[in-house]
Amino acid sequence: MADGVNNPSPRDEAVLAPMQGTVVQLVVAVGDQVQAGDPLCVLEAMKMEHVVVAPIAGRITLVACAPEQTVMPDELLLRLQAGATIEVQAAQVIARDLDQLRPDLQESLARHARTSDAARPAAVAKRHTLGQRTARENVADLCDPGSFTEYGALTLAAQRKRRSLEDLIDNTPADGMVVGIGTVNGTAFGEKARCVVLAYDYTVLAGTQGFQNHRKTDRLIDLARKLNLPLVFFTEGGGGRPGDVDTENLFASWLECPTFTNLARLSGKVPLIGVNQGRCFAGNAAMLGICDVIIATEASNIGMGGPAMIEGGGLGVYKPEDIGPISVQRLTGVVDLVARDEAHAVAMAKQYLSYFQGSVENWQCADQRALRHCIPENRLRMYDIREVITLLADTGSVLELRPDFGLGAVTAFIRIEGRPLGLVANNPGFLAGAIESDGAKKMARFMRLCNAFKIPLLFLCDTPGIMVGPEAEKSGTVRHASELFIVGAQLEVPFATIILRKCYGLGAQAMVGGHLKAPLFTVAWPTGEFGPMGLEGAVKLGFKRELDALEDPLARDAEFERMVEKMYQHGKAVNVATYFEFDDVIDPQDSRQWVTRLLG
């Protein structure tokens, strides 16, 4: 007869320890009947409990372990005998309610719910009363529906030493900053539409920069770097926050904060879009200023210091509305795009971002024959360069940056046959298109932006040259205009130039990357005219002695006009083309074909 220990029955099943551990619970005793899968004992290893279950149905014949006993791998724990007479029932299927929430999940969901706008009706109502949206509303409008994944939603302000946990949960959700990853323009661009989004929440501590939201910012900046994703930043807020007392034993000055460096390191690596509504001062303004493009509503006030900082510096007492209003910042070139309100600003951000996301399949354009009539036959008559741009580009695709700054230049993103291009043009409506300091700064910055993100450039040239004179030199023209030659020589993206009318002097050379053969192609419309300087000036300087020798004013004027006409005939496009100084004189209606065939 089998004794169950040294001579087990052939029908006995040994249950061995699956690992080294300690028996913390013995569930069965000798004689108990079990089904396959029933728990037999519980082992603990490295603070983790492991349930040992019956491998078959049967009766327990031996218990070889005891509570608190340490066992080794494959050590005998129990034996059970498969009993032929035991009626083995089918294992019961436990019906689970998939909608049932465990207490730990309920706690998490409840905490997340307290971060939503719905949990803070008074704060949201105040925002809406002022005609403004919440941070979460702006993020929801920017991102495709259901695409935004939030990071750090449960973060609280570092003020536990001075405020209760309930107070912080109610009043500092997400530490005043909504951050995450979503898609923007996903229908058109698919995977290319992923984007990092950060938004200061003005309803929480006035959108100030706290210890934890700086850490959240750094986290998302790092993800933008690793994933090579564009970053959109809603920056409204009052700058650094003095009330985060939890860090008082860790930091004295807060100047070790790496966030500004981290964001600046993204410049030229991924598109950075800053969007602002309302007050944006100090650190928030610095974040905004780092961005490639600044989109601000008409209600914005943007400054490197708010009223408290100005007064504290002994510089006077001002209201927030007095500091950096949009009427000032649109003229200084700080703001690239002025929006009517937050909805318009978000729409602009989507459009701006689209040029970095790729081509679109569906496009339309105006009848290109209209370009033949944009330039007046009177070579001295002004025309609207923006009309030319609108006709040349795909319908609705023009997004002009900084239109109120550097008025002699136009910089814009456009599409031609759905492909994104950067466009730089002279504006004959301001100083006849001469390149002055602000215009040069505007063009150089835009050229660098396009070069960094591999967006081809198209130049529309109509300039009498670089602005000269005592007043021009007071603005640093030598440095700013010369910067165009540096940037042009360093362009790595394909670029091309179409000469619309005047192509004179150093200004013209700046519009072709340094010389006429530097672009991928340089072509002129029939209205094009070339020379080392403006015709009238060339005649006055070069033939001053001959003209002064004519005493009769009428004769002098007639000779002047004759000389100008002679120089014009020599420098007009169809004649200069015979010397192969540029590539061709084209029908204006063929301009788009040259762009699509050669810029690709």
The DSSP result for 251-309, as a single string, is -SS-TT--HHHHHHHTTTTS-EEEEE-SEEETHHHHHHHHSSEEEEETT-EEESS-HHH
For strand 58-63 and strand 33-34, is the pairing parallel, antiparallel, or unpaired? antiparallel
pLDDT tens, the chain, 600 aa long? 344 445 555 578 999 999 999 999 999 999 999 999 999 999 999 999 999 999 999 999 999 999 999 999 999 999 999 874 344 444 444 567 888 899 999 999 999 999 999 999 999 999 999 999 999 999 999 999 999 999 999 999 989 999 999 999 999 999 999 999 999 999 999 888 999 999 999 999 999 999 999 999 999 999 999 999 999 999 999 988 888 888 877 777 677 889 999 999 999 999 999 999 999 999 999 999 999 999 999 999 999 998 888 888 899 999 999 999 999 999 999 999 999 999 999 999 999 999 999 999 999 999 999 999 999 999 889 999 999 999 999 999 999 999 999 999 999 999 999 999 999 999 999 999 999 999 999 999 999 999 999 999 999 999 999 999 999 999 999 999 999 999 999 999 999 999 999 999 999 999 999 999 999 999 999 999 998 777 677 666 767 777 777 778 887 777 777 877 777 788 899 999 999 999 999 999 999 999 999 886
CA distance 218 to 155: 14
CATH number of 363-528+572-599: 3.90.226.10
CA distance 153 to 155: 6
Asked if residues 566 and 538 have their Cβ atoms less than 8 Å apart, the reply is: no
Tokens 């298109």 belong to which residue? Answer: 433
DSSP lists the bridge partners of residue 44 as 22, 49
- For residue 7, the model assigns a pLDDT of 55
CA distance 279 to 276: 8
CA distance 202 to 236: 7
- For residue 88, the model assigns a pLDDT of 43
Asked if residues 353 and 182 have their Cβ atoms less than 8 Å apart, the reply is: no
**Which DSSP string do the residues of 433-452 spell out, in sequence order?**
G-B-HHHHHHHHHHHHHHHH
CA distance 270 to 221: 10
From first CA to last CA, the distance across the chain in angstroms is 92
Query: How far is residue 370 from each of residues 367, 422, 433, measured CA to CA in Å?
Result: 6, 22, 22
Tokens of 169: 């949960």
Tokens 């081809």 belong to which residue? Answer: 456
Task: Centre a 10 Å sphere on the Cβ of residue 425 and count the other Cβ atoms it contains.
Answer: 27
- For residue 251, the model assigns a pLDDT of 73
Superfamily name with CATH number, domain 106-356: 2-enoyl-CoA Hydratase; Chain A, domain 1 (3.90.226.10)
Cα 403-407-410 angle, rounded to 5 deg: 60
- For residue 9, the model assigns a pLDDT of 57
Query: How far is residue 301 from each of residues 241, 304, 338, 461, measured CA to CA in Å?
Result: 19, 10, 12, 36
DSSP H/E element including 591? helix 591-594
- For residue 94, the model assigns a pLDDT of 56
- Range(s) for CATH 3.90.226.10 in the chain? 106-356, 363-528+572-599
Helix axes 135-142, 342-357, angle to 10 degrees: 40
Asked if residues 296 and 315 have their Cβ atoms less than 8 Å apart, the reply is: no
CA distance 535 to 502: 10
- For residue 558, the model assigns a pLDDT of 78
- For residue 89, the model assigns a pLDDT of 47
CA distance 233 to 274: 5
Query: Exposed, middle or buried, 598 (CB in 10 Å: 0-12/13-18/19+)?
Result: middle
- Residues 269-280 as b or e (16 or more Cβ within 10 Å = b): ebbbbbbbbbbb
- For residue 323, the model assigns a pLDDT of 94
CA 410 from chain center: how many Å?
22
Q: Name 464's Cβ contacts closer than 8 Å, sequence gap at least 6.
A: 432, 433, 434, 502, 504, 505, 507, 533, 534
- For residue 182, the model assigns a pLDDT of 97
Plot region of 9 (φ>0 → left; ψ -120 to 50 → alpha; else → beta): beta
**Which DSSP string do the residues of 514-563 spell out, in sequence order?**
TSTTSSS-EEE-TT-EEESS-HHHHHHHHTHHHHHT--SHHHHHHHHHHH
CA distance 280 to 274: 11
Tokens of 146: 């259901």
Give the residue among 288, 421, 410 at the shortest CA–CA distance from 349. 288
Q: Name 56's Cβ contacts closer than 8 Å, sequence gap at least 6.
A: 13, 36, 80, 82
- For residue 2, the model assigns a pLDDT of 46
- Range(s) for CATH 2.40.50.100 in the chain? 12-81
CA distance 291 to 268: 10
Q: Is 140 helix (H, G, I), strand (E, B) or coil?
A: helix
DSSP lists the bridge partners of residue 294 as 274
**Which DSSP string do the residues of 395-444 spell out, in sequence order?**
TT--EEE-TTSSTTEEEEEEEETTEEEEEEEE-TTTGGG-B-HHHHHHHH
pTM above 0.85, yes or no: yes
Give the residue among 285, 173, 171 at the shortest CA–CA distance from 236. 285
- For residue 6, the model assigns a pLDDT of 52
Query: How far is residue 26 from each of residues 29, 64, 65, 173, 545, measured CA to CA in Å?
Result: 8, 11, 8, 47, 118
CATH number of 12-81: 2.40.50.100
